[in-house]
Structure 1
């Protein structure tokens, strides 16, 4: 019974750490997109849409900052 408890708590801890890691990565990506948008509300919306598009296109995470910067530079306003 002791081994079962250790196993369950270890698996739960590993799952929680994995979930937290994924959430922090998402927050960092979202924060980057919003930082590139500045204070312009329309640009913030645009950048969040572009971030969702980048995730749908499966842009690699290491390439994401440059991709978002290029997208932000190409923003002409709506």
Structure 2
């Protein structure tokens, strides 16, 4: 019974740390997208759409900042 409790507690702890790591990565990505919007509400919505599109396309995390900066520059050219 002791081993069962240890296994369950360890598994729950590992799951919680994984979940927290994923949430923090998502918050950082969202914060990056919003910071590139420079406070413009329309641009914030646009950047969040670009972030979601990049996730759907499977853009790697290292490539994400460049992709979002290009989208922000593209928005400036449109506006």
TM-score, shorter chain, exceeding 0.5? yes
**Structure 1, unpaired ranges of 5+:** none
Pairs within 5 Å for 1:10-25: 10-25=10-25
Q: Distance in 1 between matches of 2:49 and 2:21?
A: 23
Residue number in structure 2 paired with 1:44: 44
Q: Distance in 2 between matches of 1:47 and 1:19?
A: 25
Pairs within 5 Å for 1:1-78: 1-75=1-75, 76-77=78-79
Q: Distance in 2 between matches of 1:61 and 1:47?
A: 16
**Structure 2, unpaired ranges of 5+:** none
Displacement of 1:10 after TM fit? 0.2
TM-score by length of 2: 0.95
Q: Distance in 1 between matches of 2:57 and 2:3?
A: 44
Structure 1 vs Structure 2 CA RMSD: 0.6
Which structure has the highest helix share of the two?
Answer: 2
User: In structure 2, the residue corresponding to 1:59 is in which secondary structure?
Assistant: coil
Displacement of 1:64 after TM fit? 0.2
